[in-house]
C-alpha cells in the first residue's frame, strides 16, 4: 500500500471484514472509522502518524 497520507483517508476503500488482530491493518474498517472521527486533513505529518498509530493499536 505504501506510505499513507492524511489527505488520502477519504479515498481508501475499507476491507469487508475486520481482521481483529492486535495491530490492525490500515484498510481495516475500524481504523478508518477512528481516523474519520479525527480532523486528519488539517494535521501535519507528525501528528497524523501519532493518530494513526493510536487508531491501529487499540
**pLDDT tens, per residue, the chain with 58 residues:** 567 788 888 788 889 988 888 889 888 999 888 988 888 878 888 999 999 999 988 6
Where along the chain do its domains lie? 22-58
Indicate if the alpha-carbon torsion angle 18, 19, 23, 24 is positive or negative: negative
pLDDT computed for residue 50 by the predictor: 92
Sequence-ordered list of residues with C-beta below 8 angstroms from that of 10, at least 6 positions apart, any chain: none
Give pTM, 2 decimals.
0.79
> What values do phi and psi take at 5, rounded to 5?
-115, 155
Amino acid at each position: 500500500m505504501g506510505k499513507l497520507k492524511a489527505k488520502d483517508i477519504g479515498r481508501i476503500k475499507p476491507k469487508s471484514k475486520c481482521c481483529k488482530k492486535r495491530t490492525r491493518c490500515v484498510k481495516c474498517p475500524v481504523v478508518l472509522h477512528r481516523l474519520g472521527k479525527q480532523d486528519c486533513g488539517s494535521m501535519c505529518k507528525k501528528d497524523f502518524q501519532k493518530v494513526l498509530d493510536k487508531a491501529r493499536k487499540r
